[in-house]
A and B are shown apart, each in its own frame.
Chain A
Amino acid sequence: MDSNKKYWKGLEELNNDPEFVEKNKHEFAEPIPIEDVLSSGGLSSKTPRRDFLKALGFGVGAVTLAACQKVPVHKSIPYLIKPEEVTPGIPNYYVSSYEGHAILVKTREGRPIKVEGNPNDLLSKGGLNAQAQASVLDLYDYNRLKGPIRGGSDTTWEQLDGFVKNELTAIKAGGKKIRIVSSTIHSPSTLAVIADFIGAYPNTKHVTYDAVSYTGIIQANQNSFGKAVIPHYNFDKADVIVSFGADFLGTWISPVEFQNQYVQNRNNKSLQNKKMSRHIQFESGMSNTGSNADTRILIKPSEQGVALVNLYNEISGTTLPGTKALGNTNAAKAIKLVAAELKAAKGKALVVCGSNDVASQVLVNAINAQLGSYGTTIDLDNYSNQYKGNDAEFVEFVAEMNRGEVDAVLFLNTNPAYDYYAVDTFKAGLKKVRLSVSFSERNDETASLCTVIAPNHYYLESWGDGNAIEGYYTVIQPTINPVYDTRQAEQTLLLWSDNAVKEYYTYVRNTWDKSLQAKGGLASGLKGWEAVLQAGFVKAAAKPAGSYSFSRDLNGVAQTILNQSGRIAAGDGKFELELYQNVAIRDGKRANNPWLQEMPEPVSKVTWDNFIAMSPTDMKKLGYSQGDIATIEAHGYSVALPILLQPGQAQGTVSVAVGYGRTQGGPVADGVGKNAFPFQIFLNGTFQGTAIASLSKTGDVVVLAQTQTHHSFEGRDVIRDTTFKQYQKDPSSSSGEERQHKKYADLWDAYERPTYDWVMAIDLNACTGCGACVVACNAENNVPVVGRDEVRRRREMHWIRIDRYYSFNEEGKEISEEQEISQLKDLDNVSVVYQPMLCQHCDHAPCETVCPVLATVHSSEGLNHMAYNRCVGTRYCANNCPYKVRRFNWFNYWNDARFDNYLINEHTHLVLNPDVVTRFRGVMEKCTMCIQRIQAGKLKAKIEKRPVADGDIKVACQQTCPTNAIVFGNRNDPNSEVAKALKSERTYYVLEELNVQPGIGYQVKVRNTVLEA
């Protein structure tokens, strides 16, 4: 039994730092200074009687006056002419699409208030990531442009159109170049509009530029198989997955889809069939994917290429010229074992690589071809359109500008002035362009340099379509009238190119009418279109995935890879820098979204900042401690960032997240973190995010707003994990079933739950820690954003948090609490478990017992109710909660100017869920198990005169979870999903020894560890 295994969230917890212990003694980081008052003469000081009476008199008078105001008159303003489909109080759902995923947009009284996954979506099966969940808030961002701008001042659309059209005509006559620069567009209609524009202005070219580029893969597939595409990966068909730095669960290509696929071979159903995939991750920084891996091997960025070459040699049995042995013995050993495993799983194996280097990707293709992955785990025929950026074309475009060859440039949904590595060259070139137009929604870094800004609609205001995967077409429809005086970019392009079709809506209809409706087997015309607007997508029959053979000579490729490795191998005193995207902020496009900024990044649990992630060993060696600000310099660019102690970071490497350090992203984004994009370089035709960096201490120190050790369990046994081997022997392994706790007498009477018993089951093996549930809960329950300073004071308000636990990766070896940090080496080799933690709705809830005003009480449906208007704010309940899931409102967040910057203002009030109140200062709040959804579900059943069916009611976190790790339902119904899930042998309850009888059962994390590195 491995109950002696220790799990910890941060080193301060592991080592029991005095400061940490002190902080943890209190429920709140900054207690009320009652001690000071009592001890430091607070009681002995004399208050003169007259002063006392004065204060009393004034207080009573003021309160009386304040209470004497008239009851406000409430107005009730009905529609003049009510749209037939709108009934106030009833939400409407519209299909739409976000980044090619089919979604549902929930609107109330004509306002979109939540984005939910379309359960029939081909890619994510109803799941959504944090970014998509947060996207609804951006609609009401008051920093969006309110109308068109020319030369820095407001103008009208008519004047703007006249000006631009004259310019374009003149430029066309002049014969100089026109360029449309955009991020990847997979919308068939938009691409057709651009083609039409090029038809009208033949000297135009469309350049696709992605901030985070996948050109390497596209080019590699062009070189290997003559297909310049990103293939469609099928992680669900792979028994052995090997990833070289590809964060496919967090950020790589299509993470929501991959999460869903990945978990198919690891969830409860799969485990019961005694099947579990193997996932081996080679990486330098701890990524979200790496933290989920069964085996995680640390390699430096410079070793990645060598490792790939060695893996190829092992699998193919040949030796590529110039092959070196890996300096890293651990990794070298691992490569041999991994190669054997991959070969054994031929046809069911998948190797992916996160590098944007063409040569590395060609080699990965060769490995996959050897493993027979094409046609099974990799599908080159139903390829992905999610990224189509061409780095070389963009670099050439910047050169063209600098040579003065470009007279007009149109930026669509792209911001190179922020995310291009050579910003100065870009800016210098842009100055030479006669007409520069940005379609940006906000006055961002690029738009502010342009002569004209023609602000685009937000996607929730637009018509459009998407084609993320070949053969899968989604539709975008507007769910609200444009909030500001904006115009859809496609519409603008149609007008400027004098297209025969005047309305973009008609244009989209034509596109679908001509071919797409037929592809989905729908009638053409209005009937088919209405069917599309019902379903949200059409799916053409998938082409059979062909198997492709690889026949390219690899000698040159190997040479390039080895040279590349040499380039980034850092010498003494230097670090190998790797840039990465974090799960919350990604490439920084949505950096102005406070929900995303405040969402703790899955691995580091840092909010509102980026940082230099460094291995504990290096930190000790160089005398750094967490929060020290260091200047990091590479490629002639340097920024000062705080250091973060990151267990599991490869020694000699540091990682920095891109997407931060916006200067004109909006009040939320600006000044948060530092921009890391300039660390990129352009090499061998692609952008590459690795470099040799040197670090130097600045002497400044900051406190990172890191939530990892807030709400600590203080070393109690809350996490259980086991290995697949043990699970196969005994399915109840480590779930505690064999451990019979001594049952003491119950202190409380049992509650009756005659009809419903709402409970939850959370599968720790399915949870990847992505954090989508946190943002979904924000949106559903009007959870306020508190900002960096308040997070530092441990006052974040999230009702659901994802606790991330580290443990030493040493089977059987006892690590006790007393043990000092003597074995730093182990800190590089840690494993991670994620545990979503929310109110457990205990049947014997400790919080209920201590509430002096009965504000929190038990319901007959197994829920722990919280009546906010009854709460007087004693905070006893939070002190008595063993799970630390109660949150106190220190401010009236929704009506306090101090929080305006986090978009808590009258604009954003429109995004609030009208069925849930906002909480006032001084009251406690916590997860309600989305009681508004439970009540609505029951009411719907009553109106329809039928019992509530299992699955009718879905709570917000469950609904958005891409891996279905969260199951909610009625335990009294033995056939419900949740009742079945809780019957699983893996189920255990957190702190069940307290006999608080929690309502949320967790299922033991299982790790498929065979190979011990």
Chain B
Amino acid sequence: MAGLAICGLTAYAQGDASKGEAIFKAKCTACHKLDQRVIGPALGPTLQTETDDKWLTKWIQNNQALIAAKDPKALKIYNEFNQSAMTVFGDLSDGDVANVIAYVRTEYKKEQTAAPAAGAATAVQETGPSNLVVFGLIGVVIIAFIVILVLNKVINTLERLVASRPALAPEEVAVEEAGPSKGILLAKALVKNKKFVFFVCLCATIFFASWTWVSLWNTNVHTGYQPVQPIKFPHDLHAGAMQINCQYCHSGAYKSKNATIPSLNICMNCHKTIDRLSTSKTPSTEIAKIYDALGYDPGTQKYDSTKMHPIQWVRVHNLPDLAYFNHSQHVKVQGLKCQTCHGPVETMKEVYQYSPLTMKWCIQCHKRTEINIKGNAYYEKMEQVHELIRKGGKVTEAMMGGIECGKCHY
């Protein structure tokens, strides 16, 4: 079919699609996709309707010249795309351009024919058993197996009973049931044993006391708190797989007390062109939420300010108002890694609270961690610090007054 399509075109466009693919991926993908409008038009449909390859070659090699010459077609495209100029590819020969065009046309045809099949395939996949069902079934099987085992055991016991006393009379059974079993006797003996009772009580007291103690300490400690967020933002993908620096989004961490949740224009720096996982064929519903909040239409690439509405993230790390915390102090001055407090964010599918954020936890770190005074003239005048360095000692935040009440509570 692909071959037929190419044959149907004019001789001029006879190019090598495989060579074209390399050029396309190197030069075009920043602004174009085959099936979708990005910064530039979707090339697949455009090249199907536009068959004048001579004009296309001129356009690709130097679109500015065409615009300057007031070519009507060129002007139309130029204006349609907000007069954003396309890069001039003077280095592409006519052959190169033909290769690219051939690649685009064949690839788009392939995609279109493959699309319904792929759709069917995913549909089939979706009807397949989900993980939950599989595990559920396994669970049921295991439970059933256990039940069988227990029942077997009961049957065995009963059989043994019958075998040992062939003339089992109901009266006897009644007598045996009424008489104290070995276990009960043992229990009675134990209750009478004062030492044992004392021991049990002691254990119970210790258990409940420590349980109370621990649960009181952990009141309002929310380690592991992982609320449902309005957008399932995968830190493992952004910070982990993509290795985006934390401060690219949380830019406040360097200069402010707030690390700041990025505003959506930061998201749009990338997500203007990325609307799905590279492995996915359909746009991501989570990314669509960004567009929705901004009133952004990916089709026209226009923002509608009347539809804008803020995204209400659920705050994960809640310090009480009475404690002052400043990110820049820790990130910029001390040079701490974000992971020190926030844990392995780069592996978190969705963020959860890693550290307890209790005062004890703060103080422990202030007592243990050596402060970063190298190359910081701020610390030069501090006699105390110098004294310690001379002695080769460790300078911690606690020595600098970092565990005094008023350093955080005001």
Residues B324 and A915 in contact, CB atoms below 8 Å apart = yes
Instruction: Give the size of the chain A interface in residues (CB under 8 angstroms).
Output: 45
Residues A87 and B260 in contact, CB atoms below 8 Å apart = yes
Q: Does B220 make an interface contact (CB < 8 A)?
A: yes
Q: Does A52 make an interface contact (CB < 8 A)?
A: no
Residues B410 and A754 in contact, CB atoms below 8 Å apart = no
Residues B381 and A869 in contact, CB atoms below 8 Å apart = no
Q: Point out the residue from A71, A90, A866, A867 that lies within 8 Å of B222, measured CB to CB.
A: A71
Known: A74-B318, A76-B313. A942 touches B308 (CB 8 A): no
Q: Does A755 make an interface contact (CB < 8 A)?
A: yes
Interface stretch, picked from B44-52, B56-64, B398-406, is B398-406
Q: Point out the residue from A79, A860, A942 that lies within 8 Å of B378, measured CB to CB.
A: A942
Q: Point out the residue from B220, B263, B324 that lies within 8 Å of A82, measured CB to CB.
A: B263
Q: Does A945 make an interface contact (CB < 8 A)?
A: yes
Query: In whole Å, how far is B369's beta carbon from the nearest beta carbon of chain A?
Result: 15
Q: From residue 865 to 906 of chain A, which have CB atoms closer than 8 A to chain B?
A: 865-870
Q: Does A946 make an interface contact (CB < 8 A)?
A: yes
Across the interface, name the chain A residue whose C-beta is closest to B312. A75
Interface stretch, picked from A227-235, A390-398, A566-574, A931-939, is A931-939
Chain A residues with CB under 8 Å of B293's CB are: 80
Chain A residues with CB under 8 Å of B333's CB are: 939, 942-943
A74 to B222, CA, bound (A): 13
A703 to B184, CA, bound (A): 82
Residues A80 and B294 in contact, CB atoms below 8 Å apart = yes
Q: From residue 821 to 878 of chain A, which have CB atoms closer than 8 A to chain B?
A: 855, 857, 859-861, 863, 865-870
Across the interface, name the chain B residue whose C-beta is closest to A870. B405
Most chain B CB within 10 A, of A74, A80, A87, A943, is at A80
Residues A74 and B315 in contact, CB atoms below 8 Å apart = yes
Query: In whole Å, how far is B276's beta carbon from the nearest beta carbon of chain A?
Result: 22
Chain A residues with CB under 8 Å of B376's CB are: 942, 945
Q: Point out the residue from A868, A935, A941 that lies within 8 Å of B322, measured CB to CB.
A: A868
Residues A88 and B404 in contact, CB atoms below 8 Å apart = no
A82 to B321, CA, bound (A): 24
Across the interface, name the chain A residue whose C-beta is closest to B381. A947
Query: In whole Å, how far is A497's beta carbon from the nearest beta carbon of chain B?
Result: 32
A865 to B404, CA, bound (A): 8
Residues A77 and B311 in contact, CB atoms below 8 Å apart = yes
Residues A80 and B384 in contact, CB atoms below 8 Å apart = no
A868 to B257, CA, bound (A): 21
Query: In whole Å, how far is A853's beta carbon from the nearest beta carbon of chain B?
Result: 11
A916 to B400, CA, bound (A): 22
Chain B residues with CB under 8 Å of A866's CB are: 405-406
- Tell me whether chain B's interface is mostly helix, strand or loop, or mixed: loop
Q: From residue 216 to 266 of chain B, which have CB atoms closer than 8 A to chain A?
A: 220, 222, 227, 251-252, 255-258, 260-266
Q: Does B25 make an interface contact (CB < 8 A)?
A: no
Q: Point out the residue from B256, B314, B404 that lies within 8 Å of A90, measured CB to CB.
A: B256
Q: From residue 57 to 103 of chain A, which have CB atoms closer than 8 A to chain B?
A: 71, 73-82, 87-90
Q: Does A37 make an interface contact (CB < 8 A)?
A: no
Q: Does A917 make an interface contact (CB < 8 A)?
A: yes
Query: In whole Å, how far is A411's beta carbon from the nearest beta carbon of chain B?
Result: 37
Q: Does A928 make an interface contact (CB < 8 A)?
A: yes
Across the interface, name the chain A residue whose C-beta is closest to B294. A80
A956-993 contact mask (Cβ, 8 Å, vs B): 1 or 0: 00000000000000000000000000000000000000
Known: A939-B329, A942-B333. A71 touches B378 (CB 8 A): no
Q: From residue 113 to 169 of chain B, which have CB atoms closer than 8 A to chain A?
A: none
Residues B227 and A73 in contact, CB atoms below 8 Å apart = yes
Known: A78-B263, A945-B377, A946-B378. A755 touches B384 (CB 8 A): yes
Q: Does A198 make an interface contact (CB < 8 A)?
A: no
A916 to B265, CA, bound (A): 31
Residues B381 and A755 in contact, CB atoms below 8 Å apart = yes
Known: A87-B256, A89-B256, A931-B410. A859 touches B261 (CB 8 A): no
Chain A residues with CB under 8 Å of B375's CB are: 945
Query: In whole Å, how far is A889's beta carbon from the nearest beta carbon of chain B?
Result: 14
Q: Does A948 make an interface contact (CB < 8 A)?
A: yes
Residues B378 and A89 in contact, CB atoms below 8 Å apart = no
Across the interface, name the chain B residue whose C-beta is closest to A858. B404
Across the interface, name the chain B residue whose C-beta is closest to A918. B321
Chain B residues with CB under 8 Å of A71's CB are: 220, 222
Query: In whole Å, how far is A658's beta carbon from the nearest beta carbon of chain B?
Result: 40
Across the interface, name the chain A residue whose C-beta is closest to B252. A87
Known: A89-B258, A917-B322, A939-B326. A73 touches B314 (CB 8 A): yes
Query: In whole Å, how far is A970's beta carbon from the nearest beta carbon of chain B?
Result: 10
Across the interface, name the chain B residue whose C-beta is closest to A864. B406
Chain A residues with CB under 8 Å of B71's CB are: none
Known: A77-B310, A80-B264, A942-B376. A88 touches B328 (CB 8 A): no
Across the interface, name the chain B residue whose C-beta is closest to A854. B405
Chain B residues with CB under 8 Å of A76's CB are: 261, 312-315
Known: A76-B313, A755-B382, A866-B406. A943 touches B377 (CB 8 A): no
Q: Does B332 make an interface contact (CB < 8 A)?
A: yes
Across the interface, name the chain B residue whose C-beta is closest to A869. B322
B342-364 contact mask (Cβ, 8 Å, vs A): 1 or 0: 00000000000000000000000
Chain B residues with CB under 8 Å of A755's CB are: 381-384, 400
Residues A90 and B405 in contact, CB atoms below 8 Å apart = no
Across the interface, name the chain A residue whose C-beta is closest to B410. A931
Q: Point out the residue from B318, B384, B401 that lies within 8 Å of A859, measured CB to CB.
A: B401
A81 to B326, CA, bound (A): 24
Residues A81 and B264 in contact, CB atoms below 8 Å apart = yes
Query: In whole Å, how far is B324's beta carbon from the nearest beta carbon of chain A?
Result: 7
Residues B329 and A77 in contact, CB atoms below 8 Å apart = no
A915 to B405, CA, bound (A): 15
Q: Does B380 make an interface contact (CB < 8 A)?
A: yes
Residues A81 and B263 in contact, CB atoms below 8 Å apart = yes
Q: Point out the residue from A77, A855, A917 that lies within 8 Å of B321, measured CB to CB.
A: A917
Chain A residues with CB under 8 Å of B257's CB are: 89-90
A931 to B251, CA, bound (A): 26
Q: Does B409 make an interface contact (CB < 8 A)?
A: yes
A888 to B315, CA, bound (A): 33
Chain B residues with CB under 8 Å of A77's CB are: 310-313
Query: In whole Å, how far is B215's beta carbon from the nearest beta carbon of chain A?
Result: 12
Q: Does B407 make an interface contact (CB < 8 A)?
A: yes
Residues A90 and B255 in contact, CB atoms below 8 Å apart = yes
Residues B252 and A75 in contact, CB atoms below 8 Å apart = no
Query: In whole Å, how far is B306's beta carbon from the nearest beta carbon of chain A?
Result: 13
Across the interface, name the chain A residue whose C-beta is closest to B383. A754
A108 to B102, CA, bound (A): 57
Query: In whole Å, how far is B38's beta carbon from the nearest beta carbon of chain A?
Result: 21
Known: A917-B322, A939-B329, A945-B375. A78 touches B407 (CB 8 A): no
Q: Point out the residue from B261, B310, B378, B406 that lies within 8 Å of A941, measured CB to CB.
A: B378
A869 to B310, CA, bound (A): 34
Q: From residue 732 to 774 of chain A, which have CB atoms closer than 8 A to chain B?
A: 754-755
Residues B406 and A859 in contact, CB atoms below 8 Å apart = yes
Across the interface, name the chain B residue whose C-beta is closest to A944. B378
Chain B residues with CB under 8 Å of A867's CB are: 405-406, 409
Most chain A CB within 10 A, of B262, B329, B406, is at B406
Residues B256 and A928 in contact, CB atoms below 8 Å apart = no
Known: A76-B315, A80-B264, A935-B407. A943 touches B328 (CB 8 A): yes
Q: Point out the residue from B255, B310, B377 that lies within 8 Å of A78, measured CB to CB.
A: B310
- 7 closest A-B pairs (Cβ-Cβ)? A865-B406, A89-B256, A82-B263, A89-B258, A79-B263, A74-B315, A867-B405
**Given A80-B308, A866-B406, A931-B410, 10 other A-B residues pairs in contact with their CB atoms under 8 A:** A74-B314, A78-B262, A80-B294, A90-B256, A855-B405, A859-B406, A869-B409, A916-B410, A932-B410, A945-B377
A sample of 12 inter-chain contacts (CB < 8 A) reads A78-B311, A80-B293, A80-B294, A81-B265, A754-B384, A755-B400, A859-B401, A866-B405, A869-B320, A935-B324, A939-B326, A941-B378
